[in-house]
Structure 1
């Protein structure tokens, strides 16, 4: 596939030009260019070929050599253009070589596009096959052209199968992307819930409920304190002694009462009256 035919010695056909001096000058440039090409100095070789082309712009040999140097530089599109201009030749061997090199150039262009533009790559593979076929027709002994033709046919089939399955693959990729986004959303929601369940991370509603409950408790507390204060105030006005609360009379109160009765009885006795206690007093 990397094989590129190039002309090493310029054809004697240049001698048939109207100006022998012009032909001789172009032949010298081409010869020097071929020497540089063999040394892999492709830019320098192109300079020599270009100088020769200014004198012989339609030369099949010069255009062929320009195409060969362009190909070596990796400039495959310009190589195709140069080799195509060389197809005007009447030399069948040169024509076969030009077709072969065009096929190689198109194959290389296809490889550059296979990932970014697979449809464009498939078209270039088809074009390469056509040029290999033409090269084989012109030279039945060109085994490399036959080998390359078979190789590109296989690569084209693989690429077409890939293009056929691409819509299904894109659909699956979109589904995977959607599932991934859904999972990310679920994980985010779960993290939010976990964060809310942590101490000190109450939700707004929980905080509102707690504030409301706290307000109710404070109101209940204030109400209880208010009732207690009212009861306390009332108790200060009518508070009874411990003995009054139990319904029993203290010894001191009993003595005071007996004393009061004694005074009353004594007064009564002084007045000559006789009386009795209506009730029996408790023996203290």
Structure 2
């Protein structure tokens, strides 16, 4: 990308030559002679001589936009892009929209050389707003937009193929982690945690205590039967009378048995 290739740039400078006689009508002096001399050297591609002539014209009339524009084209051909862009900016201070559009176009080319792609895009758009029919500005704008996209992809590789590769690696890692978890789950089910083991130990001890309690309960009941029973005096008297009555009844039964035996024995005789 060049500032209107030598042929195109020559056409721009030649356009300025076409208007130069207009200035010469009312002004004949060092400035006009320097512009004419610089244009002749530029057409011959003698850029060092052209640069010297345009600098002389700019010194003679520092605010003249034509001198600044032509000086910028010579600096561009000398690959002094930073200085060229400064001169193109100075040339924009003109009331002529055609000259201003040409200044924006060449400023955009210098910005591309300085790798200021975003600035170049703005300059090309400004040139097209002033001159929508400028096909060179439209073409260079498209190239600048493509270059900006390439630069963005280089700064953010995730959005390109490298980003897809990274996504595939992440997916593979997730699958591997899932497989590892699936393999670990059966082992975790077989292995009991310390809390589960402690709970089982407590349950076993509780069962043993219950069994021991059941075995010891009859003995406790048996021991309780041998313990003395407390009773009142009235209960004791009644118990004694009952015992006496019981003994009397028993004695009666014994006497009856003896008497009946004697009768049977006497009868047998």
1:72 aligns with 2:77: yes
Which residue in 2 is equivalent to 1:58?
A: 63
Is the contact between residue 9 and residue 31 of structure 1 (CA under 8 Å) also seen in structure 2? no
| 1:9–1:27 CA distance, 2 compared to 1 (3 A) | farther
Residue pairs, 1:83-162, within 5 angstroms = 83-110=88-115, 124-162=116-154
Native 8 Å contact 1:37 1:69 kept in 2: yes
**Number of residue-to-residue matches in the alignment:** 153
User: Aligned-residue CA RMSD in angstroms?
Assistant: 2.5
- Equivalents in 2 of 1:99, 1:128: separation in Å? 9
Partner of residue 38, structure 1: 43
Partner of 1:11, secondary structure, is: helix
| Displacement after TM superposition at 1:55 (Å) | 1.3
Measure, in 2, the Cα distance between the counterparts of 1:16 and 1:92. Answer: 23
**Which structure dedicates a bigger proportion of its chain to helix?**
2
CA displacement 1:158-190 (0-9 Å, x = unmatched):
111101139xx9xxxxxxxxxxxxxxxxxxxxx
Offset of residue 14 of structure 1: 4.0
Change (3 A) 1:72 1:66: same
Structure 2: gaps spanning 5 or more residues: 163-269
Q: Following TM superposition, by how much is the alpha carbon of 1:49 offset from its aligned partner in structure 2, in angstroms?
A: 1.0
Q: Does 1:8 align with 2:17?
A: yes
Given the two structures, how large is their TM-score scaled by the length of structure 2?
0.53
* Residue aligning to 1:261: none
8 Å contact from structure 2 (residues 41, 47) kept in 1: yes
Contact 2:24 2:32 in 1 (8 A): no
TM-fit CA distance, 1:89: 1.0
Paired residues of 2:101 and 2:126 also in contact (CA < 8 A): yes
Counterparts in 2 of 1:233-272, with a 5 A limit? Answer: none
Q: For residues 214-270 of structure 1, what are the alpha-carbon distances to aligned partners after superposition, in whole Å with 9 as ceiling and x for unaligned?
A: xxxxxxxxxxxxxxxxxxxxxxxxxxxxxxxxxxxxxxxxxxxxxxxxxxxxxxxxx
CA distance in 2, matches of 1:94, 1:47: 22
**Normalising by structure 1, what TM-score?**
0.50
Q: Distance in 1 between matches of 2:48 and 2:19?
A: 19
Quote the residue 1:27 is aligned against: 32
- For the residue of structure 1 that corresponds to 2:95, the secondary structure is coil
Contact 1:10 1:61 in 2 (8 A): no
